[in-house]
Chains A and B, each alone.
Chain A
Amino acid sequence: MTPDDDAANAAPAGATSVYFDGTSNRRRAVAPKLSDALEIREDGEVVARWAYADIRRADSPSGLLRLSCMTAPALARLEIRDETLAAKLVTLCRQLDDNLPNRKGVAAIVGWSLAAAVSIVLVVLFGVPLAADRLTPLVPDSFERRLGDVAEAQVKVVFDGKPCDNAAGQAAFEKLVGALRQSAGLDNSLQSGVLETSVANAFALPGGKVYLFDGLLAKAESPDEVAGILAHELGHLRHRDSMRELIHNGGTSFLIGLLFGDITGSGALIFASRSLVTSSYSRDAETNADSFAIETMHRLGRPAKPMGELMFRVTGKEAGKGLSIVSSHPLTEDRLARMSKADAGATLNGPPLLSAAEWQALKGICGKG
């Protein structure tokens, strides 16, 4: 059906327009008259008088002018199909389109949206790190430990790692961790272990858990290398970085999700922009943990440089492979350079952390016997 067909329906003989009074849905055939106001007449009697300034346009199909009035019942409508009458009314009613969205309205929406976006970005860049710093000390230890337990169970499943418990190796590992713990000034609630997995990594979990993967141990050539890595992870624990990262990541993903709403379907863009923000944040945390590791090692009279060498052995040279703004750690060669520089200015004459025999036992912690 074309819009023209129902013109017939709307205009019974004798009247040019249809009026709905807003209290009932009865179609009333009326004759509008334009005097000093719009007079709506039914059978010669005036049923409504609408001042031109109060008349507003309502949505309608093309070929039909539908009017409402600010002072009449909210849903009262006058429908006009007569083109000349409609054209006259449009010129008489100056505020006809005031209620409808227009260019100015759209510009306002765009402006406010951009303002909101800028404010969200500022909060993500400055507010969230600040909140994470301030909130982290307020989180009770017991809660953090619970988080750690949940995370630990997940990590063990993901990496399919069984804890290694070769007795001699375990003793050597505990000796190493104990020395570091005392130097770092951490209490003895610390839990640590070696997991049997070929991935070359180590990590700290909230609530005082440090895990070393066998894969990293296999690549290590001296106790100092492993000690440096462990000291780095203790640094994360000391600074409660996991907790801070959790608050930071949670806040960031929530805010960025709010920003993009449903426009992207789901998440690729959110993921990309979030990883940009959070990785810059995590680079700061890594640098701080490195400082902590250097101090801890120096307090024991041992060098920090071997840790850098071990990392370099694992990652290889990193510079020149595109911009590193999205990587979560600083460049390995930069870290290595920093450590050798720190070592140069320190007196390092402490005793070895492990004897040769203990070192061999530690290397074989995941072996049989």
Chain B
Amino acid sequence: MNEMSWPPQLPQPPVPPPMPVAFSGKRKEFFHLVARGAGLELITLGFYRFWLTTDIRRHLWSNTQIGGDAPEYTGRGKELLIGFLVAIAILVPIYLGYFLIGIEAEHLKAFASLPLVAFFYMFGQFAIYRARRYRLTRTVWRGVRFWMSGSGWIYSLKASLWGLLVVVTLGLALPWREAALERYKMRHSYYGDLQGSFEGRGWEFFKRGWWLWLLTPLALYSTIFIPFVYAGFKAIEWRWWLSGIRFGEVRLESTMRRSALIGLYWKVIGWAVLLGTVFAAYVALCTVLVASIDGSSIEDFFKTDAFAKSIPLLVLLGIGYLAFALAMNVVMRIYLMRDFWVRVLSTTIVHNLEAAASVSARGELANALGEGFADGLDVGGF
């Protein structure tokens, strides 16, 4: 891992940096990182994910340059593992209680257990907030860390109530929900003693994206439109989000075009189709092979359900499926994490960075419990 930053290249004669935000990481290096990580995930039956996540963040953070200085991710895999274990210890009794209460509720009235799903939604939102706090406190730039105050539960209440409104308005309230939640998150985010804020307005987001709302029925009607609509939405969302971020007098701006992300999603789809075809061919080959060893014809093999009971076939399919899943993981991490990150950064400009020239260090480290909950509940978010 250490050879990444070494040996250094010869310094060049001074030229002022053309853009305040840039990315210097090599794609090949990232590929090696995630491919090796996927292999280790396979060997460790998934436990390596905490360290892989950490390594990916370390790579992305330390190759990003803001005003010529790269931030640093100081989190460690062990912290994520401990956060996950503690989260599991808390979630297990909750799941058990959920099961028992669910039985009682269903007994009284069918679907009476639905409010419990709402509880888990709130828990997920809490996890998102606390996970963001962990990541922020592990982000260091120019020897000073970012940090966060505020309450995960208040955030989760806000997110849930706004979520209800979004459902009631069939998604039209989404821009205002995001604006309100971002205001809360950014108001409680700090870089040293520099307080953050969010100036994006729901109305601006709405103005830029309302036509996508109209296109959604089309996307639901024919899946070919989904990548276009989703990529368009993501680009608008990111541009609006980045352009609203403030830290004291420092201001971010994004010039990302609406079409900037469409290619990425299509590349992932292309890879998925390719890998899916390979996987299907592998499945067919294994089936024929096992059937011929078994001595029965393919037709019999399927007619008698024997294929569902053959151990060699199940093992072969399991291995193939794992390989497929890991390859897909590598593809997604390269396109949807690294390339996505690079595209977002290359269109981001920092204004008035001098306002952050003399910031005093402040803020405490947060624990990784939120990351653990997010892992256990399968939620993600910024």
Contact = CB atoms under 8 A, between A and B. Distances in A.
B72 A60 contact: yes
Nearest to A324: B309
A153 B107 CA distance: 10
B128 to A, nearest CB: 16
Interface in B279-308: 294, 304-308
A265 B106 contact: no
A65 B73 CA distance: 15
Interface stretch (B1-9, B169-177, B231-239): B1-9
Nearest to B145: A75
A3 B326 CA distance: 32
Contact of B361 (A23, A150, A276): A23
Nearest to B13: A8
Sorting the interface of chain A by its residue count into under 10, 10 to 19, 20 to 34 or 35 or more gives 35 or more
Interface in A314-344: 321-327
B17 A100 contact: no
B320 to A, nearest CB: 11
A260 interface: yes
B347 interface: no
Contacts of B14: 7-9, 11
Sorting the interface of chain B by its residue count into under 10, 10 to 19, 20 to 34 or 35 or more gives 35 or more
Interface string B1-38: 11011111111111111110010111000000000000
Interface in B137-165: 140-145
A264 B319 CA distance: 11
Interface in A57-82: 57-66, 73, 75-77, 81-82
A150 B106 CA distance: 7
B110 interface: yes
A2 B9 CA distance: 10
A9 B107 CA distance: 69
A252 to B, nearest CB: 14
Contacts of B17: 1, 5-6, 8-9
A27 B142 contact: yes
A42 B59 CA distance: 31
Interface in A1-59: 1-11, 20-27, 57-59
B1 A61 contact: no
Interface of B: 1-2, 4-19, 22, 24-26, 40-49, 51, 54-55, 58, 61-63, 65, 67-70, 72-74, 76-77, 88, 92, 95, 99, 103-104, 106-107, 110, 140-145, 192, 294, 304-311, 314, 318, 321-322, 325-326, 328-329, 356-361, 375, 378
Interface of A: 1-11, 20-27, 57-66, 73, 75-77, 81-83, 86-87, 90, 97, 100-102, 106, 109-110, 112-114, 116-117, 143, 146-147, 149-150, 153, 250, 254, 258-265, 268-269, 272-273, 276, 321-327
- What are the 6 closest A-B residue pairs judged by CB atoms, nearest first? A20-B143, A8-B14, A261-B46, A113-B44, A9-B68, A263-B46
